[in-house]
Amino acid sequence: MIKIILSATLTLLMAFNSYSQEFELASTLSNTTNESSGLIHISNRLFTHNDSGDNPHLYEISKITGEVVRTITINGAKHMDWEDMCSDDTHVFIADMGNNAGSRTDLLVYKIRIEDLLSKELVDTEEIHFSYADQFDYTSTDRTTEFDAEAIVTIEDKLYIFTKNWTSYRTNIYELPKSPGTYSVSRIKEIEVGGLITGGVYNQHSNSVLLVGYELIFVFLSPFKIEISGITNGSFDGVYVTKSGLNVPSGMSPQIESITYNNVNGYYLTAEESPFGASGLYTLSNGVATNNAFVTKKVRVRYPTQTQRNLIISYPELTINSIYGVNGSLLIKTEDPKIITDHLQRGMYILRISDTSNQILLTEKFIVQ
């Protein structure tokens, strides 16, 4: 008999708003910005910066071609590990806070004037230095820290940092003043996100924060967006969190790193180049909510038995069910809710369940013994 061992429960509650979303590739990015990690949209112009290893530059890029049309240098700044940026009515805030090893003691945010950004090639900056009040150990531990961060947003007179928790797949939220100085910031909220957060933006029209990131499952990167709604005066208590997958075209990188606001329901996103594909500029439209109702749908996978050697997918609508090897090879793809498994050899596999619009409902590993 084939025995299936699941690494975790395969029951998932998904909450869906009553609106549609469209995620489309606008263009590839040039070699100059193929590590795009932050994005802002100001005066109908799009600006980005690279992740690490670049000079202290911001790049204005074409929304049509993705090509660089202008380069801005930030006077006196260093480019250690720039991970995200955001803007309010007067200033841009660039977060040099990448901290994969959890050992940095020089985290800071650069603050530049929007009018300088739009008109000059060399701009001056102010500095907002910070540390995490709940971090006491700075021992280097690569990709296991809770003090790495790649998303920053501005809400009213404060900045909010969302961490990239490498082991817990949660995000911690820290509040930071916008005034230059040195601060020890306290954690104000912890939210379950089921992945690694890589970028964020605040939408004042919907009073919500949109975060982007990805799940890391063996060799797979599974990108997603998360909307945090119900924010009250900068408080994240009692917020509602919804999550949905992003279907990246074949040949393009799934490593979504940044998102910025475009209009009431529209956004731009970028993905940095990775072994999985090319860097790209995307548009995302959330549509318009028809009401405030939420629909809860359940995905359940039943274990095989001695007489029934297959996985059984239970979902109220048609699903596309795929099984991959750990090397990323597709072994089974079917719309049949019964997935025959008796021909699989012993080993580790990945089950992925999607709906007909390619939204990922579940990704889980399992073992055949």
Instruction: Provide the pLDDT for residue 350.
Output: 81
The amino acid present at 344, given as its one-letter code, is L
Last residue of a domain, one of 265, 289, 313: 289
The token pair at 55 is: 């000079």
**E strand residue ranges, 43-125:** 45-50, 57-61, 68-74, 82-87, 91-96, 108-113, 122-123
Pick left, alpha or beta for residue 89 (phi over 0 → left; psi -120 to 50 → alpha; otherwise beta).
alpha
Q: Report the C-alpha gap between 55 and 165 in whole angstroms.
A: 27
Instruction: Provide the pLDDT for residue 283.
Output: 95
Same domain, 98 and 209: yes
Same domain, 276 and 302: no
Q: Comparing C-alpha atoms, which of 20, 103, 37 is closest to residue 256?
A: 37
Last residue of a domain, one of 289, 323, 345: 289
The token pair at 296 is: 């809860």
Q: Report the C-alpha gap between 332 and 5 in whole angstroms.
A: 18
Same domain, 185 and 133: yes
Same domain, 137 and 218: yes
Between residues 357 and 137, which one has the greater pLDDT?
Answer: 137
Same domain, 307 and 277: no
pLDDT in tens, 203-216: 998 899 999 999 88
Owner of token pair 């996100």? 193
Q: How far is CA 16 from CA 54, 285, 348, in A?
A: 39, 15, 31
| Structural domain for 313, as ranges | 4-11+295-368
CB 63 within 8 A of CB 26: yes
Q: What is Dmax (Cα atoms) for the chain?
A: 72
What is the bridge-based pairing of β-strands 126-132 and 181-185?
parallel
Where residue 312 sits, what CATH number does that domain have? 2.60.40
Question: How far out from the chain centre does Cα 234 lie?
Answer: 21
Q: Comparing C-alpha atoms, which of 26, 28, 44 is closest to residue 36?
A: 28
How many structural domains are present in the chain? Answer: 2
Same domain, 172 and 213: yes
Q: pLDDT class for 367, splitting at 50, 70, 90?
A: confident
Between residues 107 and 347, which one has the greater pLDDT?
Answer: 107
Q: Report the C-alpha gap between 52 and 249 in whole angstroms.
A: 26
Same domain, 36 and 129: yes
For the CA atoms of 14, 247, 269, 198, the dihedral, rounded to the nearest 10 degrees, stands at: 60
Same domain, 334 and 261: no
Measured between alpha carbons, how far apart are the two ends of the chain, in Å? 9
Q: Report the C-alpha gap between 164 and 150 in whole angstroms.
A: 6
The amino acid present at 192, given as its one-letter code, is E
Same domain, 77 and 99: yes
Last residue of a domain, one of 289, 323, 343: 289
Q: Report the C-alpha gap between 355 and 362 in whole angstroms.
A: 10
Same domain, 69 and 102: yes
Q: pLDDT class for 292, splitting at 50, 70, 90?
A: very low
Same domain, 277 and 217: yes
Instruction: Provide the pLDDT for residue 8.
Output: 33
Owner of token pair 């480019």? 79
Instruction: Provide the pLDDT for residue 302.
Output: 67
Owner of token pair 């990323």? 328
Same domain, 37 and 141: yes
pLDDT at 136 over 50: yes
pLDDT at 309 over 70: no
Instruction: Provide the pLDDT for residue 121.
Output: 97
Q: Comparing C-alpha atoms, which of 104, 112, 116 is closest to residue 77?
A: 112
Where residue 263 sits, what CATH number does that domain have? 2.115.10.20
Instruction: Provide the pLDDT for residue 294.
Output: 37
